[in-house]
Structure 1
Amino acid sequence: MLLQLVLLLFEVYLSFSTISLVKYEAGQLISNTNLSFIDMSIIETRNGCICHCYTNNSCVSLVYIGSNRTCWLYASQIPRTNLQLASVTLNSVVITLSNRITTITTSTSSTITSTLPTTTYCGSTCVNTIISTLSRVAFYSFDGNMLDNIGNYSLNTYFPGSTPNYVSGWIGSAVNFVYSDQQFLFTEHIPLDSRSFTIDFWFYVTNLTYTNDYSFAGEWQAPAYDECLFLNIRGNVLYMGFFYDDISGITTILTNQWYHATFVYDSTTKTQLIYLDGLLEQSGIVYSDFLATTGSFTIGGAHLGGLAPTYEYYPGYIDHFQISYRVKTPCEIYLNAILFCYFSFDLPSLLNDSGPNYLNAMNSNGISTTGRMNEGIQFSSSSPSLSYVNISGVNVLNSATNPFTISMWIKPSNVSGGGTLLHLSTQSSGGGNCFVLWGFTSTGKLSVNLISTSNSTISITIPSSFQMNQWTHIVHVFDPSNGNYLYINGNLMFGPTLSTRQAFGSFVFLGASPGGVSSCLSGSISTGQFNGVIDEFYVFSRALTSADICRLTNP
């Protein structure tokens, strides 16, 4: 009982190498209000956690729980009022790097302000990498046709007795291949010989019980060394070969889920590389470049060379297939897999999606203005018209199990009376199954709505006030294994909360809820026009790390 009733914290000043520490032995965090959460890691020892904090320039305090080896880092000092005495079995400690206290200022309870230093080290992250279309030679979106969007190598079809069937894809639509019908697509020879190249696409395999090989694509000249390119699934892992110059992945591919595959050949170093979902699976040095100078390029079926059957086919969907004459960087490959859309709202192309998926957007009365980075888009109502941007095809939000991260900068000019920041819907009109994800209450407080699997609204309202005409950064993370998190200016405001949710719909409205959709779920948010500027809108198909969030907050 004494352990539960008495807060007995021993404050010990000591030196860990050259690090000056303030330690609360057996301390336990009871509130993270106004603390700047950085990240959580599994680390074997207390000293390892201290080193982890010390090597992160943003870290001021840490909490280490020995019983489960979790190390929690914070970019602010942890006050004693946020602590209580923990059970001995928890083996916990709270430590502050005292020489860093003066470099961080915490936010007050009344007003949201930035808490990170002017120059912040965010660790290794790819989220600000520019996705380039440099040296792209072919791109197939499969949005109802077989056209090459670059214009060089449009596809012909070999679908005996039928026509291509299109299904809902990762982005827009995808082409569906039926293995038993021996279907494939082909075009003229694409010169891939004696050069570097990157081939990447999304795939969704529906059956892996027919054989050992399932071919995504290939190019064949003869059953001779390095004259047969094949990209496929072999033994349920990704596989890349030139015929006797081959490598294989390591992750078992499962049916009925979307993956992003990238196959790279670096002619300078004679290296083949396989990436799955943006992460390197395997690399290997080969004897020779790919050497075929003739032969059609095929998708959905290909030769494997040697004594293999004439063709091996593929069962399932393929989407957004592209070929580039260069070695894409690891960061580009990672972003191609995780970045769903990115609208910078910069001129001259105000509504250009700078992400890898080229989503369409429509502007209703929004005006270009000075943004957080270059230009932004300003919204205000001019009765009876509302101003907003409608982005279509954000399919990652249209599944209850997909993780996501939404990030943007806002500069409100007036939030009295409320206003919608993010409205989501299954229809382009904003109606149908619809609800308001982010917005302001009638008293001007930021509120986030979560929709449970029972279709009930859970509203979480941030009590802090927003500074008018000042830029504020907002990040919403959903991880199906952990729940929802909200960050403002890099500070964790709540989470984890509600690890299950309803699908949202793929139509996103920024700046207002469209007229005539008053039946949409809105929780505590007073729907209507947001008055202010929005900039740097991102949607990711991953729950971003703290380093990623730090970089988005400190562009």
Structure 2
Amino acid sequence: MWTFDGNLNDFYGIFNAGPDNGRTATYVYPGYTGYGGALSLGLHGTSQSVSIATFLSIWHVSFTLEAWIYPTAFSWTYGGSPDNALFGQCQSQSTDRCLHIILRSQRIYFGFYGDDLQGNIAFQANQWYHVAYAYDQSTRQQYTGTSYYQFQGLTYFGHSGWSYSISLWIYPLSSSGGTIVHASGGYGTDGVGNTGWCLPMLGFSSSGALYAQTTSSTSTLIVLTGPTVTLNSWTYVTITYSTTNGLRLYTDSTLQSSSTTAFTFISSGSPNTITLGNGLSGASSIYCPQGSITSAQYQGYIDSFSLYSRELTTANIATLYTTPQP
């Protein structure tokens, strides 16, 4: 782990780095956390990089690389593609021998050379982003991701037909697609395998409309269309479900849409996982229909998320909406 708080040392002192090309490392203060520093690259010359002198072996192992980055510009550096390098370990430019973790065309990009992945969201300059790149050696699967929060072991929520409610405050910076609340469970360890189950519960379509969704069978979605939410402003969103009233969607305590008939919610049958701010892969499976929500990073803020094991009433929602507010 490299904190870049005024030096290039590994937190544990094992894989300390040093500047390349005879340059001196430069830093900006504060970093993302509001204290300490951040390594500054490219602002003082086009050939700035750092290298780890001690060999860091990631051969035949699983690994994850994550970082907070603040791109100030996007450059054209390789083969006509606008690449900005974050991390690389390259033996030769041949299949599976050149690990490169970069931004390409302003999107996260993860490749071993010849079997690469690229993200969907175009990054903008002068904004902080959390990026994560993961490789599972046992399954030989790669994953690229950005910001999300996840919690697991939701046993009650794994039961079909049981009532639930979800409420949260959102402050979207963009509404051009993105998953706000995603549920997963089932037989796969990440809930998204061929026999897994997952559900984009709340998010935006590519046109900016807010949608709430749930499942009435392993391959059928109940979809509610909500309003176009105001950007750069807080909105209180609530989803409720019961076998009596079906699915309902509220914004700022006002009912916006409800299912036309009662139905039984079909869950995974095992403890579920909730992911906030992003979805999981696996939309090609019949157990994970995407519906009207665009699978992409949600861009904005989330506050006061709650999951209830009952259907909230209109009076409950009105009380929650008024106290407290972000």
Question: TM-score, normalised to structure 2's length?
Answer: 0.50
Q: Is the 8 A contact 1:512 1:530 kept in 2?
A: yes
Q: Residues 517 and 490 (structure 1 numbering): CA distance in 2 closer, same or farther, change over 3 Å? A: same
Are 1:422 and 2:186 counterparts? no
Residue 221 of structure 2 corresponds to which residue in structure 1? 457
SS of residue matched to 2:315: helix
Of residues 254, 258, 274 in structure 2, which corresponds to 1:491?
254
Give, in angstroms, the shift of residue 412 of structure 1: 0.5
Are 1:510 and 2:276 counterparts? yes
SS of residue matched to 2:319: helix
Q: Residues 511 and 518 (structure 1 numbering): CA distance in 2 closer, same or farther, change over 3 Å? A: farther
Letter in 1 for 2:273: F
Separation in 1 of the partners of 2:203 and 2:284?
A: 15
Residue 296 of structure 2 corresponds to which residue in structure 1? 528
Q: Deviations over 1:138-165 (max 9, x none)?
A: xxxxxxxxxxxxxxxxxxxxxxxxxxxx
5 Å-filtered alignment, 1:32-431, equals 382=131, 384-416=144-176, 418-426=177-185, 427=188, 429-431=190-192
Are 1:467 and 2:253 counterparts? no
Q: Is the 8 A contact 1:419 1:530 kept in 2?
A: yes
SS of residue matched to 1:433: strand
SS of residue matched to 1:525: coil
Separation in 1 of the partners of 2:153 and 2:272?
A: 5
Give, in angstroms, the shift of residue 440 of structure 1: 0.7
Q: Is the 8 A contact 1:365 1:387 kept in 2?
A: no
Separation in 2 of the partners of 1:537 and 1:365?
A: 25
Q: Is the 8 A contact 1:480 1:500 kept in 2?
A: yes
Count residues in correspondence.
Answer: 180
Give, in angstroms, the shift of residue 385 of structure 1: 3.0
Separation in 2 of the partners of 1:381 and 1:459?
A: 30
Q: Deviations over 1:147-195 (max 9, x none)?
A: xxxxxxxxxxxxxxxxxxxxxxxxxxxxxxxxxxxxxxxxxxxxxxxxx
Q: Residues 444 and 554 (structure 1 numbering): CA distance in 2 closer, same or farther, change over 3 Å? A: same
Give, in angstroms, the shift of residue 482 of structure 1: 2.1
Q: Residues 389 and 499 (structure 1 numbering): CA distance in 2 closer, same or farther, change over 3 Å? A: same
Specify every segment of 5 or more residues in structure 2 that has no aligned partner in the other structure, as ranges: 1-65, 70-126, 133-143
Residue 199 of structure 1 corresponds to which residue in structure 2? none
Separation in 1 of the partners of 2:246 and 2:225?
A: 17
Are 1:544 and 2:308 counterparts? no
Give, in angstroms, the shift of residue 494 of structure 1: 1.5
Question: TM-score, normalised to structure 1's length?
Answer: 0.30
Identity %: 32
Separation in 1 of the partners of 2:238 and 2:246?
A: 14
Which has more helix, going by share of residues?
1
Q: Residues 365 and 525 (structure 1 numbering): CA distance in 2 closer, same or farther, change over 3 Å? A: farther
Q: Deviations over 1:280-324 (max 9, x none)?
A: xxxxxxxxxxxxxxxxxxxxxxxxxxxxxxxxxxxxxxxxxxxxx
Largest Rg, 1 or 2: 1
Q: Residues 434 and 382 (structure 1 numbering): CA distance in 2 closer, same or farther, change over 3 Å? A: same
Q: Residues 540 and 379 (structure 1 numbering): CA distance in 2 closer, same or farther, change over 3 Å? A: farther
Give, in angstroms, the shift of residue 454 of structure 1: 5.8
Separation in 1 of the partners of 2:314 and 2:250?
A: 10
RMSD: 2.7
